[in-house]
Chains A and B, each alone.
Chain A
Amino acid sequence: MFDTLSDKLQATLGDLRGKGRLDEDTISKAMREIRLALLEADVNFEVVKSFVAGVRERATGQDVLKSLTPGQQVVKIVHEELTSLMGSGDSRLAFGRPPTVILMAGLQGSGKTTTSAKLALLLRKDGKKPALVAADLQRPAAIDQLEQLGRQIQIPVYRKDTQDPVEVVKYGIQAAQTAGQDVVILDTAGRLHIDEELMQELARVRNAAKPTNVLLVLDSMTGQEAVNVAESFFERIAFDGVVLTKLDGDARGGAALSVKAVTGKPIKLVSVGEKLDQLEYFYPERMASRILGMGDVLTLIEKAEAAVEDDEQEAMEARMRAGQFSFDDFLSAQKMLKNMGPIQGVLKLIPGLGNQLKDVDIDERQLARVEAIVLSMTPQERRMPHLINGSRRLRIARGSGQTIQDVNKLLTARKQMEKMMKQMGKGKALSGFAGKR
């Protein structure tokens, strides 16, 4: 609905109805838009290149050429390709003869310690008996941190006073096993992939621990370097999968695609908050949408299409894109939402909004009150909200049985919404990157 890439592709490819086929030049322009969108999402440069080459091949195929809506077709292709690339490989953790050892590794601050604790909690919910081992001997208070987290969720944490992490993990695994724990999660110090000494140390830890699973913990905000990071860690410790962290933010997370593309290793888990229950299994489809900046846009479009008449929706979208959002639009949106089911679920699908709504409780009654206010406006006021001065506010408040503060709040909210729409409609200034400048 607000997806800038599909808008742009629509603009580039959409006006071809009737012409019958796409020429090279137009396809190139469309590929350029895709390239820009992926770079904006932090997908590594080289990965973008090869990915787009693949999309281009499919896009010049029969389906698109014949299609009346080539723009949409291409979006679909990009989305499908991304999903299948992200989705290949086994995203489950492996469990062998107990204890199952899980080694966590990654750059400084990526989220290893927090994720270790979260994973322990998640696995306990699955009926396992996990333990944690504090093998980060570098960072000040790292052991403290893990112990405090362990205490919060009542998971045992093993530690040992030594300078050598290899000793710690050997001891920790042994002790946990003796105590009857069947999963042992090893938290290690953050390290740079170019730090030879520490990378060797990590390899030694891996050799000593013989982990069943090695997980690379990767910050979803990582930029172009994700490729080098992943390659180096892979060379040294051959990780089996990736945990993508801090996805509760608004980073598009293109690094995930980069890592998958260069190592072939799947994302196994995603971390979506600082709280210890905020670790989830991975859905490639969602990730593809996110990288493309689409939210779960496809689902949303489907739902919306089912719920409202096409022309009504189109008119509204056009106005929204132009940054106008009258109270009439509000009412149509409201109607649309009502037809779509529980509002919380629907709002979550909107790009950029979903994550912010995580902790917000949407009160459906509140919406009914808002509707009452809007219905107390004259048609003219609904169309041109700036007309609503002090005395009109009072009238509307009385008419709707709400306070004047409530009316004011709604007016402010509408203004903010309009501003937001304007920003979304504008998209990013384009440069001449790659290809035509």
Chain B
Amino acid sequence: MKAFTYQRAGSAEDAARLAAHPGAMLLAGGTTLLDLAKCGVAEPDMLVDIGHISGLDAIAVDAGGATIGALAKMSAVADHAGMRAAFPAVAESLSQAASAQLRNMATIGGNLLQRTRCPYFRDPAAFPACNKRDPGSGCAAIGGVTRNHAVLGTSEACIATYPGDLAVALVAFDAAVRLGGRTIAVEEFFLVPGDTPAREHAIGPGEMITAVAIPASPAARRSTFLKVRDRQSYEFAAASAAVGLELGPDGRTIRDLRVALGGVATVPWRCRAVEDALKGTLLEPESVRAASRLAVEGAVAQADNAHKIDLAPRLVARAILSLGGLA
């Protein structure tokens, strides 16, 4: 790892001031940043430790929803009784992520900003071409080994999968990211690669994530996070689905439905077409399976990842049916 200087920020303003130094980066738990510094992808000159800013690790859940401070640890949110009751999909997305050790270190803000696991991105010495790392250099993945690359939201410049789990659950339930004074919907926070894959999110200069806010809803309360991986645990998603379901008083009519996909797209992927097709209809296996296929509308497969286009809708259907007691 290249040497860097280290500064502690006492406040968000302090962090913004220090981060304005050329070569400076914010540091929270460090589990993404140090990993990337070891692979030579991140080469910070200065790390600005935001971990000592007070008041940013609170988790508050009430009837209106949840507010999670950017410095709250993944483990604290995953184990929080109020989160597990009101937002099971969010808590499950975290308890199925990484390892117990890493969840004790990693923060919610850092989790949202984790970088892709695209193996070409992570190995600059062997693969100089990567538009995300070095705009205009090309994409070593296209035409390479693409088993874990995205099928949704890709561009000719980059096909890297957004690897995180939490953001998938957040986008399903209309959560927002607080950047100090400004709030932005998670759905707009993450940017598809287009021609500018190096730009991954909407944080402007001098801004940092201070909190995540999730509105309460009956669908969030009856929700689940399903994650399939190449091995049973401790692996990034081959595909994941965050789904919430609200049934009407008859117990069969779908009043509200939230569906988002992970592990298959360049950003956390909200599937409104599935939601719209099923809202107001009766919960039935046939129609749920048919509508779930809309989750991958517009998908484009690379050489090795066509299986994701089959896998994702099955996962969505399984999640909806299991929440409805039909699977």
Same complex for A and B? Answer: no
- Name A residues whose Cβ lies closer than 8 Å to a Cβ of B: none
